[in-house]
């Protein structure tokens, strides 16, 4: 079976029909959720802090849903309008933006604490027009990412390179943009389970001109260990939260305001009336 990247541009490949099919496939949901879980572990966020994460190629919001479960605020970018429509229908909690990451993007400098991407950046290595240069698209992407991340922020990309040439193209563009990092390989001896994660760090001094390949999880049984750790972390966070933040409550509104402020948007001033339930004054029965 040919790879999706070799068939059509992503905005055409993930049309309305394919987007719905993708989102409703239990196998894909399970795989993407596991990849998201592993990527967030490699991200090593302090989940006790209020973080804002950029989800690159968020699609229909599968990875974003996992970020929300972890208590993380997020903003999602995707080139497929159909995928974003599905994400809106699924009522994802992230901010959704239509964007071709190969053309770059602009946010306030240092607005994001981290970035995550699942099964996306290999699309940058292929071109469907003579005017498109894959390496320039990779460079534009990583430079845009550098500008919107905080110093010392981390970014984790799970990706499916077709060959070593694509790996070299991606890592070279990342290094040129000022990142340092390595490639983590899970299950290196399994043709089916093998997964690659590009783990980048912004800031610091590094003279490395290439990235090392680091062995991650070795046996597929280690995946169970990852799940156990994840369940333990969730249990601890659940104990810390006395109750789930209800929609439209004062705390919910304050969190939304904080997120919008960090994105540089104007929000109404918080007062003693913020989040207060209004009395209908007897106008309705």
Say if residues 216 and 27 touch (Cβ distance below 8 Å).
no
pLDDT tens for residues 81-133? 999 999 999 888 889 999 999 999 999 999 999 999 999 999 999 998 888 99
> Whole-prediction pTM value?
0.78
pLDDT band per the 50, 70, 90 thresholds, residue 282: very low
Q: In what order do the strands lie in the sheet with 149-159?
A: 95-98, 73-78, 52-56, 112-118, 149-159, 195-202, 179-186, 212-215
How open is the CA angle 26-30-34, to the nearest 5 degrees? 170
For residues 76 and 78, what is the distance between their CA atoms, to the nearest angstrom?
Answer: 7
User: pLDDT at position 272, please?
Assistant: 59
Residues 198-219 as b/e (b if ≥16 CB within 10 A, e otherwise) read bbbebeeeeeeeebeeeebbee
For residues 194 and 188, what is the distance between their CA atoms, to the nearest angstrom?
Answer: 5
pLDDT tens for residues 220-278? 555 555 555 555 555 545 544 444 556 666 666 676 666 666 666 666 777 755 666 65
Phi-psi region of 143 (alpha: psi -120 to 50; beta: other; left: phi over 0): alpha
User: pLDDT at position 285, please?
Assistant: 42
Three-state secondary-structure class, residue 127: coil
For residues 87 and 60, what is the distance between their CA atoms, to the nearest angstrom?
Answer: 4
For residues 78 and 100, what is the distance between their CA atoms, to the nearest angstrom?
Answer: 7
Closest CA to 174 of 153, 151, 202, 196: 202
Distances (CA, A) of 9 to 6, 122, 242, 259: 8, 12, 46, 32
């Amino acid at each position: 079976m040919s790879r999706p990247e070799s068939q059509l541009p992503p905005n055409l490949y993930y049309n309305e029909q394919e987007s719905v099919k993708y989102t409703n496939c239990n196998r894909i949901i399970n795989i993407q959720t596991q990849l998201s879980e592993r990527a967030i572990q490699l991200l090593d966020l302090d989940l006790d802090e209020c973080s804002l994460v950029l989800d690159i190629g968020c699609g229909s919001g599968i990875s974003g849903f996992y970020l929300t479960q972890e208590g993380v605020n997020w903003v999602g970018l995707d080139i497929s309008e159909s995928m974003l429509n599905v994400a809106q229908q699924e009522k994802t909690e992230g901010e959704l933006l239509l964007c071709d990451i190969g053309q770059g993007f602009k946010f306030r400098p240092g607005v994001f604490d981290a970035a995550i991407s699942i099964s996306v950046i290999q699309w940058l290595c292929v071109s469907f027009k003579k005017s498109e240069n894959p390496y320039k698209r990779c460079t534009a992407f990583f430079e845009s990412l550098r500008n919107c991340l905080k110093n010392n922020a981390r970014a984790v990309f799970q990706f499916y390179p077709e060959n070593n040439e694509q790996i070299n193209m991606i890592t070279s563009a990342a290094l040129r943009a000022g990142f340092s990092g390595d490639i983590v390989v899970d299950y290196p001896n399994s043709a089916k389970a093998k997964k690659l994660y590009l783990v980048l760090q912004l800031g610091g001094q590094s003279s490395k001109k290439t990235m090392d390949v680091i062995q991650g999880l070795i046996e597929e049984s280690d995946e169970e260990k990852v799940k156990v750790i994840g369940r333990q972390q969730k249990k601890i966070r659940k104990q810390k939260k006395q109750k789930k933040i209800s929609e439209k409550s004062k705390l919910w509104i304050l969190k939304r305001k904080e997120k919008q402020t960090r994105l540089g948007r104007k929000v109404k001033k918080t007062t003693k009336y913020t989040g207060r339930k209004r009395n209908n004054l007897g106008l309705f029965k």
